Amino acid sequence: MARIYDQYVSKMQKIADIGHSIAVLSWDKEVNLPKGSAVRRSQQMATLSGIAHEEFTDPKFGKLLKRLLPMRTINDKERKNIELTLKEYKKATRFKKEFVIRRSQAISKAYHSWTAARQANDYNLYVDDLQNLIELKREEAKIIGFEQHPYDALLDIYEPGATVVELDQIFNDAKKGLKTLIREITSQKQVKSSFLKKYYPKNKQWDFGLEVLKNMGYDFNLGRQDISQHPFTTSFSSEDVRVTTRVDENDLGNMTWSCIHEGGHALYEQGLPSSEYGLPSGAAISLGIHESQSRLWENQVGRSKEYWSFMYPRLKKYFPENLKNIKLNKFYKGINKIAPNYIRTEADELHYHYHVLIRYELEKKIMDGSLNAKTLKTAWNRLYKKYLGVVIPDDNQGILQDIHWSHGSFGYFPTYSIGSFYAAQFFRQAEKDIPKLKQQLARGKTDKLLKWLRKNIHDHGQTYSAKEICERVTGEPLRFKYFMEYANQKFRPIYKLKV
């Protein structure tokens, strides 16, 4: 029996090797690739994508999975691996190799036209390649299949089991709760944050970012940080997890919290069991859970007063002139300023979810055919006016700000908000389980929190679903109310509102 299951493991690890080779080429594309190399790189990635698809959809592999599933001699974790792999196998066999290659080529082309459009601040340079990708994603949704809304097919890729019906309810709850708190905050005197917009030299920001990552527990023996247009984390195994950031010398917050955010993603990937490489039990549960890790570190930890009680004196050593008259309390309030803005990645914790909501509403309409690439910009600008009350000044601060659509990642954005809501619920439980957690953070001790996350979330891979892991860890399903409790407890004192 062990030999048959080992055949499955060997096959999965071979497929993982190919997939991670594509990931290496993709990482290099966004970090190092020379401008004239895009076409050949697209071909290389498309070829490997086709090979990976052929390997995974091999009929012999399908027979192996079906043979293994009913066997009584495999344990529960092994059976779960087989079940999850068989689900993906059935989905993958609906796609022809030609479609997989065509999709890979379209993604590479869209990425490079997005980059060119960003450089020129001109959405028109991107619109045709984006439309081609949109048509492919609509085709993909039909191939996968769905019961109610075509968007459900794409949501399932990133957050298995999620549906438009479910997310509509979550976002409706969020809109109601956030609107009330934001309205109260708006009626109060605004906190000051101009000290974050002084000149902060790139090399010093970079060095501080490395210190932040080390303090979180990120293992530089198994990873590295680089610069990219859009911060991201990529993993080639739990022994090679890389992060990127971007530095704006006139905005300290841009790099600082992108380092913490991506560091949270990286800690999850480094915490996955290495012995389960290539298997579902060695992979992240969902992007909602992945985002819960990055958002927990970014916000519950990285924007807390306790965390900066330890880190702020270290930050001041890098920038003594800029921060010499800024006391900890003023810094804490400034980094938690609540005000509408244009850029999702720079948004505060409350308005952030309106940024996500806008993308969610647009993607639903893209998938049902009521929006296309040519009408998308107008719809984007209209929703920003409606929900955030801002007028988009140009394409880079509007529709070109995110890399996700150029990657074909339709269905990804809702996981940012889902992850934030999971993060609040998880951190609330961590405070119950870890004695004096906030006092530990105030001393720069993050190891017990990381150990708690590893034990309760990272170590399990996909052995449990997102909903199951939430109930195992917190004793109940995802509840938006815990995010609102966290937000009220935090922002009411900052803005001197009634508790």
Domain spans of the chain? Answer: 2-147, 164-494
> Mind listing the pLDDT tens digit for each residue in 466-496?
999 999 999 999 999 999 999 999 999 999 9
Count helices and strands in the chain by DSSP H and E runs: 21, 3
pTM of the model: 0.92
- The Cα-based distances of 487 to 170, 258, 393 in angstroms read 16, 21, 30
- Residues 385, 392: Cα–Cα separation, whole Å: 8
pLDDT of residue 130: 98
Instruction: Report the DSSP beta bridge partners of residue 241.
Output: 223, 235
pLDDT of residue 133: 97
Residue 163, judged by CB atoms within 10 A of its CB (0-12, 13-18, 19+), counts as: middle
Tokens found for residue 1: 């029996």
pLDDT of residue 237: 96
pLDDT of residue 1: 46
- Residues 64, 57: Cα–Cα separation, whole Å: 12
Strand, coil or helix: 272: coil
Residues with active-site annotation = 262
Q: Are 466 and 159 spatial neighbours (Cβ–Cβ below 8 Å)?
A: yes
Topology of domain 164-494, CATH: Neurolysin; domain 3 (1.10.1370)
Residues of the chain short of pLDDT 50, as ranges, are 1
- Supply the DSSP symbol for 244: E
